[in-house]
Amino acid sequence: MSGFRSLPDLKRVGGPMPWQLQEDMLYDSEVYGGLLVTPVGTVSDMASIPWVFRRVLPKDGPWSYAAIQHDNHCVMQPDDIDSKMAARIFREAMLSLGVSKWKAGMMYRAVLWAGPKWNGHS
């Protein structure tokens, strides 16, 4: 079953990526097929929501930890995760956090359409 093992504290550090994980974040993913570790010190701007949509989907919410994990994938671009898998993991993680299916689906489609693109190498 997919889900976060821990939701670590966040520290506000300012700048364009104003939030920082204070310990490792552990997530069991069925999409990935194993444990994903987002390391302590990872920084994030939460969800990159265009300002015109922020009344419906603010930058932070119940999806914040899924957004931090997705930001880490976008920055690190691991060999075994391409941008499409990262988007699927993002949707799975949002659903595990209790985000409604329609919001998770909307945010998933947004990162597929407008998010960074890369190919895995495995």
* Domain coverage including residue 62: 3-114
Question: Is residue 16 predicted with pLDDT exceeding 80?
Answer: no
Question: Is residue 63 predicted with pLDDT exceeding 70?
Answer: yes
Does any domain span residue 45?
yes
Residue pair 2/93 in contact (Cβ under 8 Å)? The answer is yes
Confidence of residue 14 (pLDDT cuts 50, 70, 90): confident
Please give the pLDDT value at position 34: 97
pTM assigned to the model: 0.89
Does any domain span residue 120?
no
- What separation, in Å, do the N-terminal and C-terminal C-alpha atoms of the chain show? 24
Does any domain span residue 90?
yes
Does any domain span residue 28?
yes
Does any domain span residue 72?
yes
State the DSSP string of 28-40: EETTTTEEEEE-T
Does any domain span residue 121?
no
pLDDT, tens digit, 9 for 90 and up, residues 106-122: 889 888 888 889 997 65
Confidence of residue 86 (pLDDT cuts 50, 70, 90): very high
Determine the 3-state secondary structure of 21 from DSSP: strand
Does any domain span residue 62?
yes
Query: What is the tally of structural domains in the chain?
Result: 1
Does any domain span residue 81?
yes
